[in-house]
Amino acid sequence: MIEYKINDSVIPDELDCFFQNWKSPPSLKIKGKLLEGSDLIITAKENGRLVGFITTISDGAMHAFITLVEVLEAYQGKGIGKNLMKLAISHFKGYYDIVLITDKDKGAFYKKFGFNEIYGMHIRDFTYGKGNN
């Protein structure tokens, strides 16, 4: 059985099996910082083992940014991402904006929860993970 927890805490080592297909996966140090810096973490655990999670940052009133949505490969396609997203959206109900950045091929997943494509801008560091973190 998968157990979901809102406002959970996660230690960096628990993220060991995640980010498998990333070109520049975050280092253990960065994992620690991003977990510490997140305002809200929602977890999915099976027998205490982390199998999926969402991290978010927010101003606590108007804006929420879903920063990471990750489900272990072996657990994908079982509704875990959907349940995590539903919990995050309901947590931020009433906010003006809930935003996230994703790859185009994941757009259909987020559209299922009411997300729309918008015009946006960002600065991305393409040297990220190349020895600078």
Ligand X SMILES: CC(C)(COP(=O)(O)OP(=O)(O)OC[C@H]1O[C@@H](n2cnc3c(N)ncnc32)[C@H](O)[C@@H]1OP(=O)(O)O)[C@@H](O)C(=O)NCCC(=O)NCCS
Single out the segment in contact with ligand X by CB under 6 A; choices: 2-10, 33-41, 65-73, 123-131.
Answer: 65-73
Q: How far is the CB of 19 from ligand X (least distance, A)?
A: 8
| Contacting residue, 41, 69, 87, 88, with ligand X by CB under 6 A | 69
Binds ligand X (CB under 6 A): choice among 4, 65, 95, 109: 109
Strands annotated E in 1-133? 2-6, 40-46, 49-58, 63-71, 97-100
Residue nearest to ligand X (CB): 81
Q: Which of 39, 50, 42, 33 is nearest to 8 (CA)?
A: 42
Among 7, 9, 27, 102, indicate the residue that binds ligand X (CB under 6 A).
102
Q: Is 81 in the site for ligand X (CB under 6 A)?
A: yes
- Name the segment binding ligand X (CB under 6 A); options: 7-15, 30-38, 68-76, 124-132: 68-76
Pairing of strands 97-100, 63-71: parallel
List the beta bridge partners of residue 42.
6, 54
With 0-12 CB in 10 A as exposed, 13-18 as middle and 19+ as buried, what is 12?
A: middle
3-state secondary structure of 117: coil
Contacts to ligand X by CB under 6 A: 69-71, 76-82, 102, 106, 108-109, 112
